[in-house]
Amino acid sequence: MSIEAIIFDVDGVLVQTDRLHERSWRALAQREGLPFPDGLADRLRGVSRERSLELLLGDAHERCTPERRVALMDAKNQLFLEAANALTPDDTIPGVRPLLAALREMGLRLAAASASRNARLVLDRVGLSALLHAVIDGHDAPRAKPDPQCFLMAAEMLQTEPARCVVVEDALAGVDAAVNAGMAVVGVGPARQDPRSARWLADLLLPTLPGLAHELPDPWK
C-alpha cells in the first residue's frame, strides 16, 4: 500500500522546543525546591503537561491539592511561553525546512500532530505552518499520546487512511501512539533505537531527496 501522508511530532522533531520544555520543568523544580533526578528529562519527553507534573512530583503528587497542581502547571507554562515567544526560524531542526518542501514536491500530504497546547504558536514562530497541510495540537486532541487520537485526527484531516500514513516521532509515548493508530513510525533521536521504528522507511525516503540526507543533524540521524 503506498504512502500518502507524513505526520510529524513537533517538539524535538520539527523544532528544538524539547529543550525548552525540559528547561522550563527544571526551572520550576529549582524554584519550588523539588529534586530533578537523572533520567527524569527522558521520562518527560513527549508526555502531557499533567503527566509531566505527576512524574516531577513523584510521591508528593498525591498530597498536592488540585489548585496547587494547576498553579504549578501554569507556572511551568509561563516559563515555556516566555521562551517560545522568542523562537525564530533558526530554532527549526536544521534540514527540516527543505525536507518538508521536498516531501510536498513529491506529492505527499504533511501534518504536525502534537500533545502540546502551544504547538500552533511554536510552528508559527519558526515559520513552518505554511509548509503543513494540517496541524493538530493538544487542544484539538485532548487525549495525550500514547492515545492515538492526534494521529487519527491528522489522517482524517488529510483525507487518508492510517495505513497510508508514516509518523515521525522522538518520544516513546509518541511511538506507542503511532502504533496504536495503526501507522508506520520512524523514530528519531531517543526513539531511533526503538525496535518498532521503521528506519528502512527513512533510509528509503531520504536518499530520494538529493542533497538532503547529509543535512539532517541530530536528532534526525
Please, what is the minimum distance in Å from the beta carbon of residue 49 to ligand BG6?
4
Q: Work out the burial of residue 69: count CB atoms within 10 Å of its CB; fewer than 13 is exposed, 13-18 middle, 19 or more buried.
A: middle
46 binds Mg ion (CB under 5 A): yes
Provide the annotated active-site residues.
9, 11
Residue 148 lies near Mg ion (rule: CB under 5 A): no
Distance between CA atoms of residues 162 and 119, nearest Å: 22
Site for ligand BG6 in 175-214 (CB under 6 A): none
Return the number of the residue (162 or 189) whose C-beta is nearest Mg ion: 189
User: Which member of 13, 21, 57, 176 binds ligand BG6 (CB under 6 A)?
Assistant: 21
Q: How far is the CB of 137 from ligand BG6 (least distance, A)?
A: 8
Residues 88-127 that bind ligand BG6 (CB under 6 A): 114-118
CB 150 within 8 A of CB 136: yes
What's the N-to-C CA distance of the chain in angstroms?
26
The answer to whether residue 52 forms part of the interface with ligand BG6 (CB under 6 A) is yes
**Nearest residue to 174 via CA among 154, 200, 144, 217:** 144
Listed residue (193, 190, 196) closest to 177, CA to CA? 196
Contacts to ligand BG6 by CB under 6 A: 10-11, 18, 21, 44-49, 52, 77, 80, 114-118, 138, 171
